[in-house]
Amino acid sequence: MNPPGASTRTHCPYCALQCAMHLDTGADGRLSARPADFPTNRGGLCRKGWTSADVLTVPDRLTRPLLRKDRDSDLVEVDWDTALDHIAERLLALRAESGPDTVSVFGSGGLTNEKSYALGKFARLALGTSQIDYNGRFCMSSAAAAGMRAFGLDRGMPFPLTDVGSAEVVLLAGANPAETMPPMMGHLSAPALIVIDPRRTATARVALDNGGLHLAPRPGTDLALALSLLHAVRVQGWVDTDYVTARTNGFEQAWEHAAAWWPEQTELLTGVPAEQIRAAADLLGKAARNHSAYILTGRGTEQHAKGTDTVSAWINLALALGLPGRAGSGYGCITGQGNGQGGREHGQKADQLPGYRKIDDPAARDHVARVWGVDPDSLPGPGRSAFELLDALGTPGGPRAMLLFGSNPVVSAPDAGRVRERLASLDLLVAADFVLSETAALADVVLPVAQWAEESGTMTNLEGRVLRRRRATPPPEGVRTDLEVLSALAVRLGQPAERFPTEPDTVLAELGAASAGGAADYSGVTPERLAAGEALHWPVRAGQEPTPRLFLDSFAHPDGRARFTAVAHRPAAEEPDSEFPLIATTGRLMGHYQSGAQTRRVPELNSAEPEVYVEVHPDTAARAGLAAGDLARLTSRRGHTSARVRLEPTARLDTVFMPFHYAGAQAANNLTNPALDPTSRMPEFKVSAVRLEPAPEP
Ligand code: SF4
């Protein structure tokens, strides 16, 4: 235990802003957080950050492995050797019976870069499986795919967040940072904001209070709205033709899909008044003329079965205005999970190897295999994406075992009831977690692992900035780190111990070598440079300076030009009908994070938002026979959930909203649609057709 008065500078365990904080040790040995100065948070923390140390000491913290001998038995405490021997024995038996792809791995955008890297390596070498993906697929994969096709490279924000604060105008599409990342609003106080969101969110209120705009499209129609803004920008004379000619390809092909979207036409589909569309185009266009505007997207645009095309439509608008690749303007994605950026770069994605390399690229396979000391032909190919993997579990030809790290898909995956059934059908489910989460409770083996402040590692924030999480306290006795778990399992599966080191800095050095020459090159990220300052925006090549601003001279496509993508509006995968007449959309609350496994255990956060609610327009509620505070039942084609009614006069009449941090009968994801984007494989979290009716009081 650290002595009283000790303090460690580190970063918040939650979102991709990665606010800096000091963890101070009190007289009783307990840690408490206070903000530290850092470019993203500028000395601020949200309530999750302030209370983050409380997660370390939750009463139901696991400190011994748990094992269920068979499906009908309860989980009982065992020692580590018993748990690890059991897992290895079962994995080897299943692999001998059905081949390596019978074993699968599910990771997380919350894992450090070192763990993400080690998990991908473990899957491909120790298990020999192609079946690995992670919950980041549910986060910003559509923006990543759209960024790749437009710019040839995906770094969420290809500029420092501090640049945004000096812009004249910022358009936020499907992002609500006032609720999800409050310190970010410090960067958004000066610009006029244009908020695109079906709800009058906290961010939309800030925009309106400061002379900006709030455009509230019907959920699932923002692709058409983005096309219409492109239309208005062209008609109103704001296209930067010199930039479009000099730095891009494909404008006319993209325009063909925007040409029909006159604002009046768009109003009929989206419900956004035509004059608001024209006003937004003028506001953006004038700022773009001064190279002083940004377009930022969030989950609201991305979590759709057409999420990649929707983000492409926003990028097309940015390109037409001449924003990307210029100082003072640009396009960026506001990544959500703490290591949503780094988590997608180092090999825990089904189709990738470290360094953001494609797993089916022979040169990438050669390079990584050389670093790993194996034959490139021994590396498996691409596997299933996150939902496809979860949905295949226990089915003929699908995996019969899963190892799950840092994720709680029973709450966070779409069609959560179906995911729960699939997980429960496995021959072996192993969960590494710090508590018995809703998913861990289904497992055959639960491994108690260290938390963020109990181990060191690196994270990559929403600006592609690599930073150091520092250990502030040892883990409780009996708890191991994920790296120690992977190493111990790998050895039991026949791997040499030296191939799976447990020291994070040793893993970082190897990650650097494996990523060298790739798009996300970390070969110059060293403990010394991290200690000297955390301004390491990737690529950070060995011996070279980091890259805070990308694309200033050229984009990453071979011809150096950005690409417009010709994208057309299409309806949501599921539209309301007489049986399910409303649209349900989901989102986040200030006091909770992801599946709530951490934040629902923090008394201060839980007491502020202890249960799920459904936000409904008063007229919509009255039509359903509901009043404020009533218990409502929401039903979709996939399942149902119960929630207290909160009336919101600014809500759309056709749309209800639920936060997704709650479990069981309160889980919003009981309702959500797993229809997948064809490019990113992102599920359609944001549009589900539902029925709203009174529920019996318990
Ligand atoms: Fe900052 Fe996000 Fe942590 Fe809040 S949750 S303190 S915004 S990093």
The pLDDT value recorded for residue 563 is: 98
Per-residue pLDDT band at 554 (split at 50, 70, 90): very high
Q: Is the ipTM of this complex over 0.90?
A: yes
- Cα of 515 from ligand 1 centre, angstroms: 28
Give the pLDDT mean for 109-128: 97
Q: Which of 305, 307, 273 is nearest to 173 (CA)?
A: 307
- Cα of 66 from ligand 1 centre, angstroms: 32
pLDDT tens digits, 65-107: 999 988 889 999 999 999 999 999 999 999 999 999 999 999 9
Q: What value, to the nearest 5°, has the Cα angle with vertex 493 and ends 487 and 495?
A: 60
pLDDT tens digits, 201-220: 999 999 999 999 999 999 99
Please state the atom number of ligand 1 nearest to the C-alpha of residue 12. Answer: 3
Q: Which of 404, 376, 506, 408 is nearest to 138 (CA)?
A: 408
From 17, 460, 588, give the residue whose CB has the most ligand 1 atoms within 8 Å, as the site to mutate: 17
The pLDDT value recorded for residue 620 is: 98
Please state the atom number of ligand 1 nearest to the C-alpha of residue 183. Answer: 7
The string of DSSP codes covering 292-328 is -EEEEE-HHHHSSTTHHHHHHHHHHHHHHTT-TTBTT
How far apart are the C-alpha atoms of 697 and 645, rounded to whole Å?
13
Q: Which fold has domain 7-57?
A: N-terminal domain of TfIIb (2.20.25)
Cβ of 72: how many Cβ atoms within 10 Å?
6
pLDDT tens digits, 41-70: 999 999 999 999 999 999 999 999 999 988
Give the pLDDT mean for 292-317: 97
pTM of the model: 0.96
Least confident of 77-81, 259-263, 334-338, 550-554: 334-338
Q: What's the helix, strand, coil split of the chain in %, to 5?
A: 35, 20, 45
Cβ of 492: how many Cβ atoms within 10 Å?
17
Q: Which protein residues touch ligand 1 with a CB less than 6 Å away?
A: 12, 14-15, 17-19, 41, 45-46, 48-49, 181-183
Give the pLDDT mean for 182-202: 96
Q: Which of 537, 559, 600, 574 is nearest to 683 (CA)?
A: 574
How far apart are the C-alpha atoms of 464 and 547, rounded to whole Å?
9
Over 70: is that where the pLDDT of 508 sits?
yes
How far apart are the C-alpha atoms of 266 and 228, rounded to whole Å?
7
Contact 11, 467 (CB under 8 A): yes
Please state the atom number of ligand 1 nearest to the C-alpha of residue 41. Answer: 1
The mean predicted confidence, pLDDT, of the chain is: 96
From 10, 21, 32, 41, give the residue whose CB has the most ligand 1 atoms within 8 Å, as the site to mutate: 41
Tokens linked to 525 = 């990220």
The residue whose C-alpha atom lies closest to atom 7 belonging to ligand 1 is 181
Q: Which fold has domain 66-138+339-453+473-505?
A: Rossmann fold (3.40.50)
Contact 612, 587 (CB under 8 A): no
Q: What is the dihedral of CA 172, 173, 176, 178, to 10 degrees?
A: 10
Cα within 13 Å of Cα(217), Cβ side: 28
Please state the atom number of ligand 1 nearest to the C-alpha of residue 17. Answer: 8
- What is the distance of C-alpha 138 from the center of its chain? 6
Over 90: is that where the pLDDT of 553 sits?
yes
Tokens linked to 650 = 């600014």
In angstroms, what CA-CA distances link 41 with 97, 186, 507, 519?
52, 8, 28, 27
How far apart are the C-alpha atoms of 80 and 41, rounded to whole Å?
40
Please state the atom number of ligand 1 nearest to the C-alpha of residue 49. Answer: 6
Q: Which fold has domain 146-336?
A: Dimethylsulfoxide Reductase; domain 2 (3.40.228)
Residue entry with tokens 């192609």: 130
291 φ/ψ sector (left φ>0, alpha ψ -120 to 50, else beta): left
Over 80: is that where the pLDDT of 584 sits?
yes
- Cα of 40 from ligand 1 centre, angstroms: 10
Over 80: is that where the pLDDT of 137 sits?
yes
The residue whose C-alpha atom lies closest to atom 1 belonging to ligand 1 is 19
Over 90: is that where the pLDDT of 534 sits?
no
The residue whose C-alpha atom lies closest to atom 6 belonging to ligand 1 is 49
Contact 652, 201 (CB under 8 A): no
Residue 334 is given by DSSP the state -
Over 70: is that where the pLDDT of 1 sits?
no
Tokens linked to 576 = 């309301």
Question: Whole-angstrom distance between the N-terminal and C-terminal Cα of the chain?
Answer: 45
| Prior bond of 678 cis (ω within 30°) | no
| Prior bond of 539 cis (ω within 30°) | yes
Give the pLDDT mean for 442-469: 96
- Cα of 19 from ligand 1 centre, angstroms: 6
Contact 688, 636 (CB under 8 A): yes
Q: Which fold has domain 582-694?
A: Barwin-like endoglucanases (2.40.40)
Q: Which of 13, 45, 48, 44 is nearest to 590 (CA)?
A: 48
Query: CA 107, 113, 118, 124 torsion: positive or negative?
Result: positive
Over 80: is that where the pLDDT of 2 sits?
no
How is the chain split into domains, by residue range? 7-57, 66-138+339-453+473-505, 146-336, 582-694
Amino acid at 477: E
- Cα of 109 from ligand 1 centre, angstroms: 15
Amino acid at 103: V
How far apart are the C-alpha atoms of 331 and 335, rounded to whole Å?
13
Per-residue pLDDT band at 491 (split at 50, 70, 90): very high
The residue whose C-alpha atom lies closest to atom 2 belonging to ligand 1 is 15
Query: CA 599, 335, 135, 88 torsion: positive or negative?
Result: negative
Tokens linked to 434 = 């710090």
